[in-house]
Chains A and B, each alone.
Chain A
């Protein structure tokens, strides 16, 4: 009989090999699915995973990977701190929305003033908005012991309603012929988060994601707080004995995650998206949870996972328009990728052993 035996230390080698294994298994399973739909599996897989990187128009798609991956990475980095400590903020989508609303709110309040300080203020407002929204579940957890998973999830729906109310009411573009949606910040230079270097896809949000990755790496490896976070996640009892204050950790982890998610929302609304609309949020906050796990909660891993996720979106779109693969099939392949990545992770932490069935 097969049983699992916990490894004393997670296997380093396997933690590098398993994600690759999962991607390969996904390609095989996805290929079978595409074949079942009557498409050439090799072409389809190549279109999704190869074309955006090395195909004919890679010079357009590669920057797009940053545009799509940037917010995912930024949010996932924040979430990973909490996840490591066993603090489950799954409401990043809400924090992202509130950050966008606050950031856009600052811009619209100053419109049409042209001043250098508007954009920095927007960044601060976005971060504060996301932070405040994350503080609700954090404080409730610390004060009353409520479950942060559930409270942060509920607040996503509240934030979505607030977004709708803003797009239809307070922030509606007065020159928009009555259509819902704010002014387009892309046309407001003082607030526009454009490309830092043309053609690279690098905007402030992507830069912030990389900066956050470096900080998070240093924090986790060099700083006492990072040690406390890891200790709390791995051995909560021992953490308590060594003087870690769980309440403080909750407030810090949730706060950082909220602030980063809020900033991601702000950079998105000021840049690639441009507007507060009814459909502004497209699920980055939820996808980032997946990215955090795919990246094994490690900053470098998260960057790679965010880019991989972005690749499946962009490659999926290419496959859709070129091969007319249904969007649903691509969504299923993304789901499968997650399944396999989650499933193979067991090999990193556990050893599979053959044992004889015990005689009862």
Chain B
């Protein structure tokens, strides 16, 4: 047993990497849910983004192209969900599950030629000067671009929801679609856009797994990250900054668990692995005491009756 082997600086740095994929996907889902739509297909969109991004990066030689393609692919797949739930007014829970099933199948079909290939490498930024600051440098300033993109996205989503008119409209649609419709907002159009944004984010999150974190393509490689993203949105009680916090907490539990094991400490892995979910439930209970925690129209079908 050797706790001194755990280097807190490196632990914090790897926590930031471990949290990025789930954070980006959760931010997308946050916007979707804020618009009043529950898309349980995050896992399906992530895995599709993972393979499309991987394939595009391999063929173009550019990771950036890969990420863009992953965003387009994720958004494209989410359009299926949008069609079902917003146009055909199908149940969102069932449609989301169907999307995951479809996405898992689609990704492994596309991915058949990509096993055992190494994708192009994304350089670490090692921001000059800043990365040399003791302690903070290694924790904060020696990551790849996408880690910073994730944090930037938190800021952007927060600004969007809080300070822009569009953000206000989106929230209004999520809180009460009847009223928003009465005020003349295009409920369906706004929701379709939100769903596509969610799909794009899930795609990027998936591509981060296949292009940076692992990097390789394997069937089903997102291994449930999409479901954790769903938990994370709830944990964050639909607030962007808490998504950041929650992602670091969830990522932290994983990284800490591995560190403790490596340090020779016998820990009940199963019980530690279930803790994020239990914490999420507890947060839900605590949040429920306050009003307006979850978007009021979440998961409800909207049909504009004339």
Contacts and interface: CB of A to CB of B under 8 A. Distances in A.
Given A162-B270, A332-B102, A335-B102, A326 B94 contact: no
Given A147-B294, A154-B231, A290-B94, A339 B281 contact: no
A339 B80 contact: yes
A146 B284 contact: yes
Contacts of A334: 101, 105
Given A144-B285, A338-B94, A339-B102, A346 B88 contact: yes
B299 interface: yes
The DSSP consensus for interface residues of chain B is helix
A231 interface: no
Nearest to A144: B288
Given A4-B303, A88-B93, A329 B105 contact: yes
A329 B219 CA distance: 13
A332 B109 contact: yes
B238 to A, nearest CB: 11
Interface residues on A, range: 35 or more
Contacts, number: 144
Interface string B148-169: 0000000000000000000000
Interface residues of B, number: 52
A336 B102 contact: yes
B108 interface: yes
Given A6-B303, A158-B277, A168-B270, 11 more contacts: A146-B281, A147-B294, A155-B277, A157-B274, A290-B98, A293-B91, A328-B108, A331-B108, A332-B109, A336-B102, A342-B88
B25 interface: no
Nearest to B94: A293
B27 interface: no
A157 B91 contact: no
Interface of B: 38, 40, 80, 83-84, 87-91, 93-95, 97-99, 101-109, 112, 219, 224, 227, 230-231, 234, 268, 270-271, 273-274, 277-278, 280-281, 284-285, 287-289, 294, 298-299, 303, 305-306
13 contacts: A90-B40, A140-B288, A146-B284, A150-B280, A153-B231, A158-B277, A289-B94, A331-B101, A334-B105, A335-B99, A335-B101, A336-B102, A342-B91
A345 B90 contact: yes
A333 B40 CA distance: 19
Contacts of A168: 270
Given A335-B101, A342-B84, A326 B277 contact: no
A149 B305 contact: no
A343 interface: yes
Contacts of A331: 101-102, 104-105, 108
Contact of B84 (A4, A144, A157, A339): A339
A219 to B, nearest CB: 22
Contacts of B224: 157
A346 B89 contact: yes
Contacts of A308: none
Nearest to A88: B93
B109 A350 contact: no
Contact of B89 (A147, A151, A350): A350
Interface in A307-341: 326-336, 338-339
